[in-house]
Structure 1
Amino acid sequence: MTAPSTELFVHPALFYRGEEEYVDGTVPFIREGLAAGEPVAVAVPGPKLDILRSALGDAATDVRFIDMTQAGRNPGRIIPKVLRVFADAHPTSRVRIIGEPIWPDRSGVEYPACVQHEALINSAFEGRDATILCPYDEAGLSEQALTDAYATHPVVISEGRQRNSPSYAPERVVERYNEPLPIAEAAEGYAFGADELPAARYFVAERATRFGLSGVRLDDLALVVAELTTNSVVHGGGTGTVYVWAENGQVVCEVRDGGQLKDPLAGRRPSPPAQVGGRGLLLVNYLTDLVRVHTGPDGTVIRCYVDC
């Protein structure tokens, strides 16, 4: 249960062990929100949705439930497509959200993007009238994940007690997980400039088809490549190189160029309907199953994973 706060945005981590502690830490939070007239959303892995629906009984009908394993498959789309969509739909009310983006089955490849997401929630919701509670499976997650939770959340709840985190430093977390992404040994590359954009798209589509991608997913990847390569030409120094390979049942595509991303929230802000352009990275996050980014003075790598 979270204590009242004078802060507009409140972002606690909830450490739990087992189903009983999970229910004890989340259901009162939900009921408090409903009693206060706050819109409530719960975005957690599918099996946890069933647990909470059962524990809430009839009150479950007043809660928006979202399967995070699907909506949050790519951590880069959780802020714009899960959290902000719900908060923005209730502009005159304080909102209350449970978001569980990190669970034991997350892969090591996914984890850096997950923890960066948790860090970026703080700047994405700064000044917003909202509470986002993030459960952490203390028994199933690594010690590193729990340590990072202290760094990405200003408040931590453990064994029913709430305290300020002594190591809260979200900006440092974003930078720490801005990890170099070496070129994969299996990668095939194609260098492009403005005149080679169509050829770059064909290069990726042809190889992705060979790797087993087809239908809508192939169309999605083609659109992702078009956005990323165009961004390289317009914002990344005019040229770049696109790489593609197969890995663990996914097609992986990355674009490297000489530009640098200055905004950590690039691709994570919903775009206003009247906005012209500027949706490229947002679209990439929406269409892919994972996005990893490394950026710095020497250039930027945007690596995208698409399930076959």
Structure 2
Amino acid sequence: MDKQAASHSHRGGRDGGVEDAEPVRMESGLEALRSSPEFRGPVEPLEDLDANQHIALFYESREEQFAAMVPFVRQGLSRGERVMYVIYEPTEADVLEAMRDGGIDVDAALSSGALSFHTLEETYLRTGTFDPDDMLSVYRDALEKAKADYSGFRVTADTNWILDERTEIPDFMEYESRVNRLFEGEDCIAICQYDLGTIPAEILRDVVRTHPHLIYDGTLCHNFYYTPPEEYFEPDEPAREVERMLGTLVDRTKAKVTLAETIEELEESNERLKRFAYVASHDLQEPLRMISSYLRLLERRRADELDREAREYIDFAVDGADRMREMVEGLLSYSRIDMHDPAFEPVDCNAVLEDALNDLRIRVEESDAVVSAGELPTVVGDANQLEQVFSNLISNAIKYSDEPPRVDVTAERRGDRCVFSVADEGIGIDSEYLDQIFEIFNRLHSNEEYRGTGIGLTLCRKIVNHHGGDIWVDSEPGEGTTFYFTLPTERA
């Protein structure tokens, strides 16, 4: 995040500064978290929901708290909004440090007035005890002032103070519900922060009821259990809540049934596609074999009648047919992976690697490659499929090396999984292509430079995923490449 952009918040009045900022709506807060490197969990899309800009953040650690708070504040400042922070726990110094670590130029934001910190005595408890009407007036005044000079108003507040003896919890819940009315339709958004380890469950239950949106366990979700303010204070609210709860159960049941039906249809469709790919790949091999054979037969029987150009054309055609057959064979291997689900069993990876190197013996000798390996573990899987993974990765390491290749295979036990690595000192891969290399038929080099089908790494990913693992790559151009993949060491 550009620090200058993060601190460029003040509009300089209606006629200056940030003129084209989008309205402050719930989608703004969603995007702040969705695009943030700190917040790594899923963010539920709004779709057709009537979204009020009031969020409750439930956290169990400072890391969780700051992972949501920092991108929320950072986005507000970058959009030219006024950001108000009511501090209690943690300290202001801790919050400022987290903001600085998140790329926010807090000194510029504070000096311009775009960011401000406020104590309880200046806000929630300025009358000595908590008064919902007084606190709503604090935010109403702050919102009106923000409208004059900023593109919007954004507020976040610590709430552990509500356990103070000067606060009546019913009064606070009334206030939280009424905030929804205050923010409705305004260029304003708020996050209230609740410590799960401090605030009792019976209070948190009411917090859930008064916030349209919740952040919990690294996930932002829209709240099924939210009670709108017009219902929260009605005398028949219990009956309305029962109706809403029953309606929620019916809606969720219908959604689950629809989802289950969709999943079943997709599974059937995927199974048909797998069988089609298998049959098509298998049946294509024979025609391609015939093309190559008859072209070579033509070349032998009409040798005296063919000039150099005709022989060259035949070579091109045979080469194309052979490459097509290699691709078809790759597709056949790809489709076989989950056509038949073998019973996984303990597999000695030392033996698997030895078999892969035996298959690659001629290539290793011709390239003067040196392949070294540490002691490899026993994992749970299919030996034939895992041999394909080692063979493809080592073959690639040999292929993409300008000098005599050096390949190092290692493994490290981590809990019930093992992380394997296949490292080389070859030409490397530019970072912009790292996400593409596992896509089928996606090649970074022409066939004239490096012969291949573009299926090998796709096959590796398919096999590793089929075993319940992950595969990824780390590389620098000219510095070599390391492929990592995980496999289970115990039965699931």
Q: Residue in 2 aligned with 1:258?
A: none
Q: Answer yes or no: is 1:18 the counterpart of 2:61.
A: yes
Unaligned runs of 5+ in 1: 179-308
Correspondence 1:287-302 to 2 at 5 A: none
Counterpart pick for 1:71 among 123, 131, 151:
123
Match among 155, 160, 164 for residue 106 of structure 1? 164
Whether the aligned pair in 1 keeps the contact of 2:73 and 2:83 (CA below 8 Å) is yes
User: Which of these residues, 150, 162, 167, is aligned with residue 225 of structure 2?
Assistant: 167
1:32 aligned residue: 75
Question: Within 1, Cα distance between the matches of 2:59 and 2:121?
Answer: 19
Deviation at 1:99, TM superposition (A): 2.5
* Counterpart position of 2:29: 2
Q: How far apart in 1 are the matches of 2:185 and 2:50?
A: 8
Give the Cα separation in 2 of the matches to 1:70 and 1:85.
13
State the distance in 2 between where 1:70 and 1:90 align: 17
| Matched residue SS, 2:197 | coil
Residue 95 in structure 1 maps to residue 115 in structure 2: no
- The alpha-carbon deviation at position 108 of structure 1 amounts to 8.2
CA distance in 2, matches of 1:140, 1:104: 11
How much has 1:22 moved relative to structure 2?
1.6
Q: Deviating runs (4+, > 6 A) in structure 1? A: 5-8
Correspondence for 1:155: 213
Give runs of aligned pairs for residues 129-278 of structure 1, distance below 5 A.
Answer: 129-171=187-229, 172-174=231-233
State whether residues 75 and 113 of structure 1, in contact with CA within 8 Å, keep that contact through their aligned partners in structure 2.
yes
| Cα separation, 1, equivalents of 2:210 and 2:53 | 12
**Is residue 70 of structure 2 the alignment partner of residue 43 of structure 1?**
no
Cα distance in 2 for partners of 1:100, 1:175 equals 29
Q: Is the 8 A contact 2:89 2:158 kept in 1?
A: no
TM-score (norm 2): 0.33
For residue 69 of structure 1, report the CA deviation from its aligned partner: 5.1
* Contact 1:103–1:141 (Cα < 8 Å) also in 2: no
TM-superposed CA distance for 1:121, in Å, is 0.2
Measured after TM superposition, the shift of residue 105 of structure 1 is 3.2
Is the contact between residue 156 and residue 164 of structure 1 (CA under 8 Å) also seen in structure 2? Answer: yes
Structure 2 residues not aligned, in runs of 5+: 1-27, 32-45, 110-114, 238-492
Q: What is the root-mean-square deviation of aligned Cα atoms in Å?
A: 2.8
- Cα drift, residue 130 of structure 1: 0.7
The answer for the alignment partner of 1:252 in structure 2 is none
Is the CA contact 2:183–2:189 (under 8 Å) kept in the aligned structure 1? no
Displacement after TM superposition at 1:46 (Å): 5.8
User: Residue 262 of structure 1 corresponds to which residue in structure 2?
Assistant: none
Contact 1:120 1:174 in 2 (8 A): no
CA apart distance, 1:98: 0.5
Identical-residue share of aligned pairs (%): 25
1:144-182: CA deviation from partner (whole Å, max 9, x where unpaired): 221112111111011221111111114344458x9xxxx
Pick closer, same or farther for the CA change 1:75–1:170 going to 2, 3 Å: farther
Measure the CA separation in 1 of the matches of 2:78 and 2:58: 24
**Structure 1 residues 141, 46: CA separation in 2 closer, same or farther (over 3 Å shift)?**
closer
Post-superposition CA distance 1:95-114 (Å, at most 9, x none): 11103345363338521111
Aligned to 1:59: 105
1:100 aligned partner, one-letter code:
D
Q: Distance in 2 between matches of 1:102 and 1:119?
A: 18
CA distance in 2, matches of 1:109, 1:79: 15
- Give the Cα separation in 2 of the matches to 1:69 and 1:51: 20
Letter paired with 1:43: V
Q: Output the CA distance in 2 between the equivalents of 1:68 and 1:174.
A: 26
Paired AA for residue 220 in structure 2: Q
- Structure whose residues are more often strand by fraction: 1
Larger Rg, first or second structure (1 or 2): 2
Q: Give distance in 2, aligned partners of 1:121 and 1:10.
A: 10
Distance 1:164 1:100 in 2: 21
SS at match of 2:77: helix
> Quick one: which amino acid aligns to residue 11 of structure 1?
H
* Paired AA for residue 96 in structure 2: R
